[in-house]
Amino acid sequence: MPPTLIRSMSVLPAVREEVELHTADGLTLVGELALPAERPPRATLVTLHPLPTHGGFMDSHVLRKAAWRLPALADLAVLRFNTRGTASPRGRSQGEFDGGRAEGHDVAAALDLVTARGLPHVWLVGWSFGTELALMHGRDPRVEGAVLLSPPLRRAGDDDLDAWAAFGRPLVALVPEHDDYLQPPEARRRFARVAQAEVIGVDGAKHLWVGETSVRRVLDEIVAHVAPQVPVPLPTTWDGELGSATSEEGTA
């Protein structure tokens, strides 16, 4: 049987488990952990979703496609979860949106979960609002680095960038050419205060990374930095069992 093209709604094999995260301030958050089906993970992604007040949640499409593809294509573990007060088909996390402040407890709870599972080489992958959570609350010794998708640098400011510079861990910012909030020239100026930061401008891309070309670029860049031993670009076909989701949800 010939290989099958990996399409927008393709779901590759993985061990997928619904999980609960427990915060230090007493909330239960809902999520999913996806692990490689046949091998131990070589690294771990803790994903942080876009702004929930503007449609962001754990199923936002880039993060969902990372969980659908990267366990099989790159042997990565992928944790997705709804921050406090956020709902998705998986369920609603307890609490209320706090503009990025109390969400620091949510980031810590996610790191507690992957630590308790013994998962290796933890990287944060934040998208839009999720990049603010990574910068403000991700400076934890359990974190090896962070990949920022469409960072707006609104809630997170120069003090957070300076603190990340002192933290010393890698920081990779993927900045769309046509982003609504922060475009590559300004991003390079803002991130220049972080010596170890790498700003990658992505020609033709927009804030929401809509379309397979944009999604594949994002996933390739994540893998190239988190698991450099895996060849990129990642395969666009799959030779084996391939599932398919039933609806396209969570663009934001």
Contact 143, 114 (CB under 8 A): no
Q: Please choose, from the candidates 170, 190, 89, 84, the residue with its C-alpha nearest in 3D space to the C-alpha of residue 129.
A: 84
Full pLDDT tens readout for the chain, 252 residues: 689 999 999 999 999 999 999 999 999 999 999 999 999 999 999 999 999 999 999 999 999 999 999 999 999 999 999 999 999 999 999 999 999 999 999 999 999 999 999 999 999 999 999 999 999 999 999 999 999 999 999 999 999 999 999 999 999 999 999 999 999 999 999 999 999 999 999 999 999 999 999 999 999 999 999 999 999 999 999 998 888 776 544 445
State the pLDDT at residue 102.
Answer: 98
> Could you say which of 3.40.50.1820, 3.10.110.10, 3.40.50.2000, 3.40.50.300 is the CATH number of the domain covering 23-151+210-235?
3.40.50.1820
State the pLDDT at residue 247.
Answer: 52
Element (H, E) at 238: strand 237-238
Kindly provide the residue ranges of all beta strands, DSSP E only, lying in 113-176, ordered along the sequence: 122-127, 143-149, 171-176
State the pLDDT at residue 250.
Answer: 47
Q: Which two tokens stand for residue 202?
A: 């992505």
Q: What single letter denotes the amino acid at residue 127? A: W
